[in-house]
Amino acid sequence: MAQIDLRPDSQGKVRDIYDLGDKLLMVATDRISAFDYILPDEIPYKGKVLTQLSIFWFDLLSDVVDNHIISTEVADLPEAFKPYADYLDGRFMLVKKAQMFPVECIVRGYLTGSGLKSYQQDGTVCGIKLPAGLTEASKLPEVLFTPSTKAEIGGHDENISFDRCAELVGDEAAATLRDLTIKIYTTAADHARANGIIIADTKFEFGTIDGKVVLADEVLTPDSSRFWPADTYKEGEVQPSFDKQFVRNWLNANWDRTGEPPHLPADIIEKTSEKYIQAYELITGKKFEK
């Protein structure tokens, strides 16, 4: 079965979310987005990779931060979803409802992307002054917490300062989110590096359950992170990538970002799927079950 016939209560760029009253069913589809657009083609197995990798990280990081997971077992699916078990297996999370913070917690360990563009303009990233002499893919002197706003689908997230983050969520919560973000990133980056992957940057989402801060949504996936192969890393060059930067690069070369995004060629779709699976297998040390 290729999809669920039940209408989701809300949809993200990749996830379909079903409100079950006291909990949520989050389903990762094979949709892919880039530059805040949902692309017209799906990437085979992508939703399963995102879910299985998130589950791996939630477990690995459980000593660092609590999360919102209740179950990922088909046996625990609500009755209405049992007919779709074959499709859902491996791509859903049954989670507790959390009161989500209205910011995305972005963390950067290396200089690239929008951070590099900002640095080249005025020597800063999100208002944080950096030393001279850094270039593409430079390892940052210290890990940076650079939060952003959350945009609706079709909108653009905006980088904000830590002070603005504190205005949105409160001083104490902002400090907690910053400290947790950096600690989670550092823990995960050490694990990934030992397994052949550099996590250049990533983003987390947090909420509260019964007043306690929890890690939610997806975690350290190729959708929310830049993954680089450690064995070919070279400062000053654009790095090959395990994540959707592969798709972004093709779009940059073939689309001027006006109108609707184009269809991806079959080989780009296939290679992107392979990249996602390869990232999963390197990070977890397990064979991906299709």
Side chain identity, residue 264: L
Tens digit of each residue's pLDDT (9 = 90 or more) over 42-83: 999 999 999 999 999 999 999 999 999 999 999 999 999 999
Give 106: exposed, middle or buried? Use CB within 10 Å, 0-12, 13-18, 19+: buried
Question: What's the longest Cα–Cα distance across the chain?
Answer: 59
Task: Please report the pLDDT score of residue 154 as a whole number.
Answer: 55
Task: Please report the pLDDT score of residue 1 as a whole number.
Answer: 43
CB-CB contact of 222 with 276 (8 Å): yes
Where do the domains of the chain lie?
10-96, 99-244
DSSP state string for 91-139 = TEEEEE--EE-SEEEEEEEE--HHHHHHHHHHSEETTEE--TT--TTPE
CA atoms within 13 Å, Cβ hemisphere of 209: 16
Task: Please report the pLDDT score of residue 53 as a whole number.
Answer: 98
Please give the CATH architecture assigned to the domain spanning 10-96.
Answer: 2-Layer Sandwich (3.30)
Distance CA 207, CA 195 (A): 30
- Can you list the residues of the chain whose pLDDT is less than 70? 1-2, 152-156
Task: Please report the pLDDT score of residue 128 as a whole number.
Answer: 94
Residues pairing with 23 in the sheet: 96
Say what the pTM is: 0.93
Distance CA 51, CA 30 (A): 11
Distance CA 21, CA 268 (A): 40
The CATH number of domain 99-244, selected from 3.40.50.300, 3.40.50.1010, 3.30.1380.10, 3.30.470.20 = 3.30.470.20
CB-CB contact of 49 with 222 (8 Å): yes
